Amino acid sequence: MGTSTVMFAVLRRDLQAALRRGSEWSNPLLFFLMVCSLFPLGIGPERQQLAVLAPGIIWVVALLASMMATDGLFRGDYDDATLEQLLLSPLPLYPLVLAKTFGHWLVSGLPLSLLSPLLATILQLPSEGLAVLMVSLLLGTAVLSFIGAIGAALTVGLRKGGLLLSLIVLPLYIPVLIFGSAAVKSAIDGMAYLPPLAVLAALLMAALALAPLAIGGALRISVDQ
Amino acid sequence: MSLSPPDLKLHNLYSERDERVLFAGLSLSVSAGDVVQLAGPNGSGKTTLLKVLAGLSSRYEGDIYWRGENLITQREDFRQHSLYLGHGSGIKAQLTALENLRWSCAVRGQHVADADLHRALTKVGLGEFIQQPCYSLSAGQQRRVNLARLFCCPAQLWLLDEPFTAIDQRGVAEIEQWICDFADNGGMVLLTTHHPLSLPRPLRRIELGGAS
Amino acid sequence: MANWQWFHKWGSPRWFYQFSGRLLPWLAIPALLLLVGGCVWGLAFVPADFKQGNSFRIIYIHVPAAAVAMGGYMLMATAAAVHLIWRMKLAAIVMKSAAPIGAALTFLALLTGAVWGKPTWGTWWVWDARITSVLILFFLYLGLIALHQAFENRDAAARACAVLAIVGAVNIPIIYWSVEWWYSLHQPASIKFVGESTIHPTMLRPLMATLSGMYLFFGWVLLLFVRAEIIEREKNTRWVQALVSGK
């Protein structure tokens, strides 16, 4: 059985499990929707002001939603001990962890990115920024999934992981937030938006290469306590 | 035959937890056909020892050899030939018994035909529940789904942590029979249980918790 | 194997405790001399800046605190790697001890930055690239301390924190660079005033003194923390009990 077949099997099971229990993927989306609609109530309904703040708001809330989704990435597997089976696989852990994280992105970051044009409209984001917002979220949430997975793997063995996870991963999320919202702003201002998008892509490549190593190591530590 | 090294050899194993010694100076050789019961009171390190052997815990000192070589260099080969059943349920509740089993085999890098998975589930008495999501099964039935892995993931060494939990009396006798059959065919079993085992073959008991 | 002996010797808490005891005065005395001397020199003898007046003098604490906090993180990450790779227990102790000291230094840097900001920019807080970077470093330290406290088992805590420290060390250059980029995007370089070239040599010399003093101070306090942790962990051994009973 080739590595890619095994990766596909891991991915398939995670998607099946997530889709059968809808709350896993729908709750972060609802959170994204609700928090974004709180901002006009807090700031005021002026179109101009909202339009200026929209890229930052959408990005910060997407980041929080992605982080909340990440908490459950390994928790279910840890609780039902299927994580042990994963760690005892004769195959290298890297592709298995990669498949799990990618599967997580498919049910968290991807729907978040697809939903973003709707929220952009609510928040009066100028239409020039829509496409770039989606692309930046597609790239950026993937990076967030990888970074968040490190934190989730480190805290999965702890009873109260949720808040701790945010303390650990939020500082590491900062570059993604900076380049993601900058790309959207640049697009709205008619400036070059490709450089920040390229940086996001570069961050994704780096995360793809390095993060699974940290995730795998962290999982082994969390199971061994 | 007797000249070949034992398949699994523990030499002078030591482990502590929170500054309490669990076991010290533990040496053990396991060869084909051996069934070893790890006994001892709660907290005596039975589960820790199984986790150390399975490769889930690195908190030990001493040496473990697999087929004459140090286990650290033989992890991959060891994982291919050993099967660990821990405390946890080992199954995803949202998935059916069949899907769970298919995943468990895939993660071990083994493609097992659905017919074989069916056979394994029938053998553990779940033939009628194959397509049911596991959350609708009873605790004992869920345990049996996990035990079905024994019959679809080929291995030479079983590491079983309390395999009789939530299993009824008839089931206990069944599992004992499976262990016997496995050992008769050259398999090795290390298990922890508080249950008095009645096997029609020699059984070795290792008492843990002597050192404290 | 012979070349590894020093490594195992260094890994022995008892040996390290005795060795570091001899090292302490060699760190403490120069550290205090350099810090006090550098501050007196910087505060009393260096001429005032033509633009900022006397308020610039806070850099003699602010800059060393920020720099050593950064260096402390890298030291912590190195100790973390040593602990993960060679399972050296002493490295775990160094890593654990460095975190609160580093966090305290980042806090000092933030505090002095705020005090500096009031007369300079007229506000206690400015989202300047350097201050923002220090703030993020402070968060990284706090996350690490929080993670360590969340574990009940000491070994697991050390190993988990080691992973996080290394992940943080890999990310720090990216974070710093992205904050610089973010700042340059929003603020054209008009507020920038501590350009490295504009600082006068007479201002620089006391800074070098307090900077090296701060490094020594960090080393000194780190050793004190490490020694306290060693005693705590080895409290049941014979040598610690002999030490405590004064034999």
DSSP-derived secondary structure for A4-33: HHHHHHHHHHHHHHHHHSTHHHHHHHHHHH
Percent residues over pLDDT 90 in chain C? 58
Determine, yes or no, domain membership for B171.
yes
Question: What is the predicted pLDDT for the residue at B169?
Answer: 87
Token pair belonging to B144:
């049996």
Question: What is the predicted pLDDT for the residue at B212?
Answer: 40
C236: nearest CA partner in chain B? B19
Q: Which of A74-88, A124-138, B7-21, C152-166 has the lowest mean pLDDT?
A: B7-21
Question: What is the predicted pLDDT for the residue at C198?
Answer: 58
Question: Under DSSP, is residue C170 helix (H, G, I), strand (E, B) or coil?
Answer: helix
Token pair belonging to B76:
């991959």
Q: For chain C, which chains pass the contact test of at least 3 CB pairs under 8 Å?
A: A, B
DSSP annotation of B96: B
Using alpha carbons only, give the angle A5, A6, A7 rounded to the nearest 5 degrees. 90
**Which of A157, A168, A222 shows the shortest C-beta gap to C164?**
A168
- Asked if residue C238 has pLDDT above 80, the reply is yes
Contacts of C154 in chain B (CB under 8 A): 18
**Which of C142, C156, C185 shows the shortest C-beta gap to A182?**
C185
B95: nearest CA partner in chain A? A17
Q: What are phi and psi of B193, to 5 degrees?
A: -165, 150
Question: What is the predicted pLDDT for the residue at C4?
Answer: 58
At B127, the pLDDT band (50, 70, 90 cuts) reads: confident
Record: contact B19-C236, CB cut-off 8 A: yes
- Number of separate domains in chain B: 1
Question: What is the predicted pLDDT for the residue at C129?
Answer: 87
Determine, yes or no, domain membership for B196.
yes
- Asked if residue B87 has pLDDT above 90, the reply is no
What average pLDDT does this structure show over C189-217?
74
Question: What is the predicted pLDDT for the residue at C1?
Answer: 39
At B181, the pLDDT band (50, 70, 90 cuts) reads: very high
Question: What is the predicted pLDDT for the residue at C187?
Answer: 61
At A79, the pLDDT band (50, 70, 90 cuts) reads: very high
Question: What is the predicted pLDDT for the residue at A179?
Answer: 96
Record: contact A84-B92, CB cut-off 8 A: no
Percent residues over pLDDT 90 in chain A? 91
Q: Cβ contacts of residue B129 below 8 Å, gap of 6+?
A: B97, B121, B137, B141
Q: For chain A, which chains pass the contact test of at least 3 CB pairs under 8 Å?
A: B, C
Distance CA A186, CA C192 (A): 23
Record: contact A87-B80, CB cut-off 8 A: no
Closest-CA distance, C167 to chain A, in angstroms, reads: 7
Taking residue B31's Cβ as centre, other Cβ atoms within 10 Å add up to 15
Distance CA C121, CA C135 (A): 18
- What tens digit of pLDDT does each residue of B186-212 get? 999 999 988 888 888 888 888 887 544
Closest-CA distance, B57 to chain A, in angstroms, reads: 5
Determine, yes or no, domain membership for B184.
yes
- Under 8 Å CB pairs connecting chains A and C tally to 78
CA B47 to chain centroid:
11
Residue with tokens 């938006």: A193
Contacts of B19 in chain C (CB under 8 A): 236
**Which of C142, C177, C179 shows the shortest C-beta gap to A167?**
C142
C140: nearest CA partner in chain A? A171
Residue with tokens 């099964």: B137
Indicate the angle between helix axes B169-184 and B139-147, nearest 10 degrees: 10
Order of strands, edge to edge, in the sheet holding B20-30? B20-30, B8-17, B61-66, B69-70
Question: What is the predicted pLDDT for the residue at B6?
Answer: 81
CA distances to A107, B68, C92 from C138, rounded to whole Å, are: 33, 51, 20
Record: contact A84-B104, CB cut-off 8 A: no
- Asked if residue C158 has pLDDT above 60, the reply is yes
Asked if A16 has any chain B CB less than 8 Å from its own CB, the reply is yes
Determine, yes or no, domain membership for B212.
no
Q: Cβ contacts of residue A177 below 8 Å, gap of 6+?
A: A59, A60, A63, A140
Closest-CA distance, A74 to chain C, in angstroms, reads: 16
At A119, the pLDDT band (50, 70, 90 cuts) reads: very high
- Asked if residue C8 has pLDDT above 70, the reply is no
Taking residue C216's Cβ as centre, other Cβ atoms within 10 Å add up to 21
A96: nearest CA partner in chain B? B107
Record: contact C153-B18, CB cut-off 8 A: yes
Interface mutation vs chain A, best among B71, B91, B103, B160, most A CBs within 10 Å = B103
Average pLDDT in chain A? 94
Contacts of A74 in chain B (CB under 8 A): none
- What tens digit of pLDDT does each residue of C27-75 get? 999 999 999 999 999 888 888 877 777 888 888 999 999 999 999 999 9
Q: What CATH number does residue B28 fall under?
A: 3.40.50.300
Token pair belonging to A177:
């937030």
Record: contact A79-B88, CB cut-off 8 A: yes
Asked if A41 has any chain B CB less than 8 Å from its own CB, the reply is no
Question: What is the predicted pLDDT for the residue at B211?
Answer: 45
| Residue ranges covered by each domain of chain C | 24-244
**Which of A154, A157, A175 shows the shortest C-beta gap to C175?**
A175
What range does the domain containing B67 cover? 8-207
Distance CA B187, CA B35 (A): 9
Question: What is the predicted pLDDT for the residue at A12?
Answer: 94
- Asked if residue C197 has pLDDT above 60, the reply is no
Record: contact B55-A20, CB cut-off 8 A: no
**Which of C155, C160, C170 shows the shortest C-beta gap to A154?**
C160
- What tens digit of pLDDT does each residue of A142-162 get? 999 999 999 999 999 998 777
Contacts of C85 in chain B (CB under 8 A): none
Question: What is the predicted pLDDT for the residue at C23?
Answer: 92
Record: contact B59-C155, CB cut-off 8 A: yes
